[in-house]
Structures are given as C-alpha cells and as structure tokens.
Amino acid sequence: MTKKILLSVFLLPAVMTFAQQYGGMWIPTELNEKEMKDLGMKISAKDIFNPQKASIKDAVVQFNGGCTAEIISPKGLLLTNHHCGYGQIQAHSTVENDLLSNGFWAKNPQGELPNPGVTVDFIVDIKEVSNQILEGTDNLTEPELSKKIANNIEIYKNAQKTEPYQSISVKSMYYGNKYYAYTIETYKDIRLVGAPPQSIGKFGSDTDNWVWPRHTGDFSMFRIYADKNNKPAEYSKDNVPYVPKHYLPVSIKDKNENDFTFVFGFPGRTTEYLPAIAVEKIMKEIDPARIAVRDVALKTLDEKMRADDATRIKYASKYASVANYWKKWIGEVEGLKKSNAVEKKVMYEGSLVAKNHEIKSTLDQLNKLYNDQAPFALNNAYYSETVRNAETLTLANLYYNYITAVEAGRMDEKGTAALKKKLAAFYKDYSAELDAKVTAKLLALYANKTAPQFLPAGFEKYKNEAQNIQNIEEISKNSIITGRSEVNGVSLSQDIEKGFSNQDKLIKSLKKDPVYQLFNLMRETYMTKADPQFASLQTKIDALQKTYMAQQMATDKDRKFFPDANSTLRVTYGKVKGSLPRDAVSYNYQTHLAGVMEKYVPGDYEFDVPKKLIDLYNKKDFGNYKDKTGDVPVGFTATNHTTGGNSGSPALDANGNLVGLNFDRQWEGTMSDINYDPRFSRNIMVDTKYILFIIDKFADSKWLVDEMKIVK
C-alpha cells in the first residue's frame, strides 16, 4: 500500500459510505421489513420468524452442523444440496453398489436409509443478551475479559429452563460488542430418501464449481424421524416421520428478472468489517499460499482418481472438499482485485477519520500489528494447509494429540473410544501409497516456500520433489501410522481395537515411528518459531478490531450494519438478476436443460449425462416443469448475499414459497465474504422446477412430489 494512497484518504469528502444495495446477512429478529416490502415482499417479518407461533423458521434447519436444509412436506421431508449429503451418499456406496454414480431413490418410507451421527438443528428462539453477558466487563482486558464473559455465559445458560433435547448457544456478534442467545432443538434420526446420480447432482464438478452459467442439479433429500410424541429420539425402527410446525410450499411459477427473493439459512463466516491492511494481506499473501498447497494436492489426487474407480469412490468426498475452497480462494483474490476492495477500504477509513479522529489511532495500530504479524501469518497458512492436506501428517497429528492427552492424564475411556472411531473412519477412505506421493510433493512446496527462519534444521533436503517421493514412500512403508507396518501384531488401518490393546507399547512404537518423528519436527519448529508470535499478535488485533467495529457503528450513522456470519440463522434478500462480470460479457439470470445437453461429453468425469435424461430432453417430456421458453429451467442467480453454510438454504419468493435451493456463488463475486460488491455478487440456486422434474420424470418418484404442496 503506497504512501500516496494512504495520504489521499484525508482529501476525500466527509460523507462516504459503501453502496450496499441489499447486501447483508440479517438476524431474523431484526429485519428491515419496510425495505423488504419496498423490494416486493408480500408477507410480514413475523411470518419469517416468530417464536410464539408457526413461521418459516420452523421449516429451516442446520443440517449436520454445517449446511442448511428445509422441510418441504407435512411428513418431515427434507431438502438440501447433493454436496451437503455427499458424505452420507458415499457412506452407503460400494464399488458394487455405487450410489454416487447411480443415484438412490427410496420407493417407500421403509426403503429410506439411516445415517448414524447425522443431526438437524431447529432454532426455537433468539434473544439479545448483551447486557447479561457483558455485565462486569468494563475496563477488563485479556485474559480476564474472556474468563468473565465465559462465566457470564455459563450463568445465563444455567438459568434457562430447557427440555432434554434442547440446548442454549450464546454467540458473539460485532466482534464482541453484542451477544445473542439461541434456543436449539436437535433431531438425531435423519434418513436418506433420494439423491440423483452425481452426473446430475455434481454435473460440471470442479470445472463448473463457483461458475455461472451453471447446470447442476445440486440437491438430495432426507427425512426427519421422531418418536411417537413427535419429539427428538435416537434412531429406532419404531420412530415415525416428523410432523413439522411449518413446511414450505414449492412454487413452479416462472421467474422473472427483478423478482424479490430471500434466502434463509446458516451462513458460516464473513469478515466484512476488516481494515484495508487485513484485506491486502489476504489478497496478496494468505490466499495465494493456501491456493498453492491445495493445487499440488488436487493435481496428485486427480491423476490417480481418473485412473482407478476404487480410488475415485474412496476419495470423492475429500477431493470435493479440498477443491471447494481452493477454487473459492482463486475467485476471491481476483474479485478483490477487480472490485478495488483495498482502495475502497482505504477511502472508507478516510471518511471515518474525517468524522472521528480517534479512529486514526486505531487504524495506525492495526496497520502496525498486521505488518508485524505478516511473516508469522504466512507460515501459519503454509503449515496448517500442508498438515491438513497431507493426510499422513494429519494422522500423525491425531496420534500426537492422543499421546499428549495420555501423558497429561486427560485421555479417559470415552476419549479413547471417540478417537478409535475417528481413526477407523479415516483409514476407511485413506490410501497410504497415494498419500505418500501427496505428502512428498507438499513437503517440497513447504520447504521451498517457507522462510528459512521457520524451517526445521536440515529441512532443506525436502526441497527436491522427485527425491522426496522416493524418501517419503520408504518412510510410509515403515510406518505404523500409515498402517503399512504393524503394532501389537496388527495394522492400525485394519484393526484399531487390537492396535490399541497395549497402550504402552503403542505409544512407544508411535514415538519411534518415522512419520511421527517427521511431523513432530515440523510441529515443534512451528510451535516455537511462529505460532506463539502469530497468536499473541492476533489477540491484540482482535481486541482492536472490537474497538474499530464499535467506532464504525458509532460514527457511520448512514450505514446499516449486520453482524458478520458465524453459522447462526440469518436472512438475506435481493432480486433475481443476471450480471455483467467483465467487458463484453453478459450473464442471463436463468439456465435451462438445453445447456446441460450443450455441455454433455459422453463418458466424461464431469460432463457425462444419464441416458434417461437425454431421452426425456429429446422427447421434450417435461410435464408441468417447463417455463415460458418451453424448456426446463435448471438454475438461476440473484443478488442475495450468501456464503459457506448457506449451501442447501431455501430461496423463497415474495409469498414465502420455495423457488430455489441455494448451492453456490458466482466466481466473480466470491470476494463477498470480505467485500460485497453488488455488480458481481450473485448467489446461484437450483430451480425448484428442475428439482421436481428430476424427482418426478427422471427418478419416477412422484410419491415424493405428492407429499408436497405445489404452488402453480
């Protein structure tokens, strides 16, 4: 950032705000009903969220702790994304019965498949509790401040009366300037009802991920089961379909540009209020480091997955997970550059300083702290991404934490059982031979990209990738962690229980393991030379960010502030809209089945199309699901401000009817987590007409459509 830019901020007009144009992720108890109605909404804010009686919020759930899902029938039928249910579809798949490739459709409730461990959470009530949580915190600094807030939260939660299946979660908003309490009900018997083959549900795969125009039928269906009293219960054959307080009618009306829409769900994380210096570091240093690591891992996995079906099935879910944010970060960097995000932040900061001179001191301190933290933050990015994406190192990290807990007396029987369960699941989808190659390549990248002061002694030997592949393969073959060498008479990858039968021998063997020693060398160096400094500076940054957030809200009276996303229930609203992403390029708001056929590549990993879908298209057998063009609409875009966690969120019309299923964002606008730009920021949704067309015509599962209330 040049001095010229920094100095120029003081020459700007005093009044300067961001043009929001409906960007925002609003707490559903604090909606701007007038603005929503001015945009075209026909229902009231109370119809969206009302703790006293049935409202739309009773049809919206957090799916398995991450995605969103919605209830679309009076029998607890649940709709979410294909990629949100991907892990469950994969878990029911084998080489002989490949549900990922073939799809799955229960023919009746008895054919629905249980998914142990999967949960859905309803939000029963939301209350602001800032006064209770911040009581007695004036003039406190860390760590006393955190201790006091944690204590106040526990006092508040313990004072609430809840049912056994309910819990209270207290969440910080606006960087700790406000707090909200959420009453949650959790249901634990969730069964797989239907999923299209991945040639529909994942059509376009990684090439089309984060991209518009999009032609992906990204949906899957589950059902919530309850006990005979309609209350949450563990899985039982005696459980019955859940009867919801509210379910969403499904609209098959045509969509038009500028139609009002709103999205209701659980967005994961945004950072809209960072200073310019933080955005600059993300754009120029942190994101490029993350991208580089995942690029190496993905290319290595892809080569093997294309050549071997067993590997493709084993690694399908993991590959998709790694690729998702790899591509998102690439788009984020490009979007931040294109939308001049740093320059906009600098100008905005100048306008704030012109109104409130105290803010200059806050920004000066933040600038210094971010610059001081930069080398440690970069090492943090390379280290964490390397350990996360080299699965062999991830395993070593799990065993390291186990040994540490045992030696500290913190590992009880329950903890050991949970670890063994986690390890068994990990080994099920782990190829030691393949990951030895991934690990070797990532270690070469780490050795070459990491500043010398952060490298372990002698780590220069890992700079040669070709030599690494031989060396790491040899280490892998002689490791009990990889499961290629035995401990207690067995391979850990084959028999976890017996492998853990003699704890002392297991721990002694782990400490001598070559993979463990390699990981431990990396970890000790990182924890000594980078992590404490990174964390210490981050604590100071967080404290100042809280101050800066409060200053922004107190100074800029013209701006509407929503709290950054933190996986709590939010409403975002906007209009159905296309976009002009770059010079001479115009995107329509709607795609159709014809576009699927245009992209069709027979036998391709990403763009194959099922024969039955081709036949339906050629016969024009579209039923009630075609639009005014005579074709079946597949996807559409709007200006709703979404992020990760909004996957599977319902897109609703002015009357609260389901019109689409949110599943992605337009690549040119993925920077909206940091800088929402109404010119480029578009969310991408599967059209309800395409969902119903696939269920009815392709899957021959009209019994599911018959459960729903269809709005024509």
- Which residue in 98, 218, 513, 556 is the catalytic one? 218
647 catalytically annotated: yes
Tokens of 247: 């379910």
What's the rounded Cα separation, in Å, for the pair 592 and 630? 10
Helices (H), 247-357: 276-281, 287-307, 309-338, 341-355
Task: Give which of 555, 552, 556 is closest to 544, Cα–Cα.
Answer: 552
Task: Give which of 706, 700, 664 is closest to 82, Cα–Cα.
Answer: 664
- Which residue in 647, 672, 681, 701 is the catalytic one? 647
What's the rounded Cα separation, in Å, for the pair 93 and 100? 7
What's the rounded Cα separation, in Å, for the pair 649 and 565? 14
Name the DSSP class of 651: E
What's the rounded Cα separation, in Å, for the pair 273 and 542? 12
Dihedral angle over CA of 135, 141, 146, 150, nearest 10: -20
Task: Tell me the one-letter amino acid at 323.
Answer: A
Give percent helix, percent strand, percent coil of the chain, each to the nearest 5: 50, 15, 35
- Which residue in 82, 83, 215, 592 is the catalytic one? 83
What's the rounded Cα separation, in Å, for the pair 217 and 211? 14
Please list, in sequence order, all residues whose beta carbon lies within 8 angstroms of the beta carbon of residue 650, skipping any fewer than 6 positions away.
59, 60, 68, 70, 79, 248, 263, 264, 265, 658, 660, 661, 662
- Sign, Cα dihedral of 622, 193, 705, 651: negative
Task: Tell me the one-letter amino acid at 593.
Answer: L
Task: For residue 574, list its beta bridge partners.
Answer: 261
Task: Tell me the one-letter amino acid at 77.
Answer: L
What's the rounded Cα separation, in Å, for the pair 453 and 460? 12
CB 642 within 8 A of CB 263: yes
Tally of CB atoms within 10 A around 667: 23
Helix (H, G, I), strand (E, B) or coil at 64: coil
Tokens of 159: 């004072």
What's the rounded Cα separation, in Å, for the pair 383 and 449? 10
What's the rounded Cα separation, in Å, for the pair 600 and 610? 10
DSSP codes, 67-111: EEEEE-STT-EEEE-TTTSHHHHHHT--SSS-HHHH-EE-SSGGG
Length of the chain: 712
What's the rounded Cα separation, in Å, for the pair 543 and 265? 29
What's the rounded Cα separation, in Å, for the pair 205 and 707? 31
Helix (H, G, I), strand (E, B) or coil at 444: helix
In three-state form (DSSP H/G/I as H, E/B as E, the rest C), the secondary structure along 275-294 is: CHHHHHHHHHHHHHHHHHHH
Q: Active-site residues: which are they? A: 83, 218, 647
